[in-house]
Amino acid sequence: MALLVNRVNKHDLKEQLKKETFKRITLSFYRYVNISDPAELRDQLFMQWSALNCFGRIYLAHEGINAQMSVPEHNWEAFKEQLYSDSRFNGVPFKFAVDGNGKSFYKLIVKVREKVVADGIEDPSFDPSNTGTYLNAVEFNKAIEDPETIVVDMRNHYESEVGRFDRAFCPDADTFREELPLVVDHLKGKEDKKVIMYCTGGIRCEKASAYLKHKGFKDVNHLQGGIIQYAKEVKEQSLESKFRGVNFVFDERIGERITDDVLSKCHQCGAPCDRHVNCKNDDCHLLFIQCEACDEKMNGCCTEQCKTIAALPIEEQRALRKGRVKNGPECLAVYKSRLRPNLAEILKNSTLA
């Protein structure tokens, strides 16, 4: 069978999305479940969801599914019926975007991976299904008010930089794989303490809760549905939001604002800012925080070098890119030394710490 992929270029796809006259529903879902043949399921889902004009980024593995999607409103019932007809996914809970503007994705990507969440765990005795206790928004708020409770953010540093829960330990890590040992080390000697964990949609903290139990922690809890579901319950039930700032999301929106609190600073001038952007130099695309004034001054770029390259004719840019690695060593060095603040310092100076 030929590989099922979308061959239309990004620019044309984004223009088509802008011209759509119907609404889209932005959602995410996941489930840890045995999938014997992820590659076969991948092609099946791609064909089904393409026919329904669904967009999104979906990962499949033997351990389950992790999906962030945009579904046309008029195809919602057909999508749900189709998904639930598979016993492996029947009744899977959906998390709907706070800012569901329908512009979250512009094409459909379904990929097979070794794991739906890369964790670096090689221990064959680890059981990811032996998870901690789910907490809803009310229960999570109650738990976080207890000063004896340990709060752990299971997201990457650039996510927690712009939004986080009160008193949370935020690992200064780039990946979930890096975070797990950092969290275990941070909690060493506190195996009998109450631990509550959270992430964007629930999939990372669910696996992390199972890993902490595997490591001997007794009272492990995690936020059901993650920050996305928490924000929904807070709004519906008129609760106080213990989460402050922006919830980073992995789609075209980059972030959903939960509260008006601005917890971070522009990486270039230091002004209060929580606006993530990608460097406009196609040879870089570094993710960083940039205020509107610096955006105008730097033409959306992270360094003067990138600003110069991005201003060149496209043919010259392509010639420079040949044989080079995106997010090259020059930009990464500048980012680590100057653009990226130290997260521990941010938390130290924060009223939330």
Query: 122: which 2 tokens?
Result: 């090689």
The one catalytic residue in 199, 205, 301, 302 is 199
Catalytic annotation present for 269: no
The rounded distance, in Å, linking the Cα atoms of 303 and 228 is 33
Q: What is the DSSP letter of 66?
A: E
The rounded distance, in Å, linking the Cα atoms of 222 and 150 is 11
Query: 53: which 2 tokens?
Result: 């004009």
Give the helix/strand (H/E) hosting 60.
strand 55-61
SS3 198: strand
Alpha-carbon distances of 344 from 155, 205, 341, rounded to whole Å = 15, 21, 9
At position 235, the amino acid (one-letter code) is K
Considering Cα of 233, then 235, then 238, then 244, what sign does the dihedral take? positive
Per residue in 111-138, is it b (16+ CB within 10 Å) or e — as a string? ebeebbbebeeeeeeeebeebbeebebe
Is the separation of the CB atoms in 250 and 160 below 8 Å?
A: no
Paired with 256 in beta bridges are: 247
Catalytic residues: 199
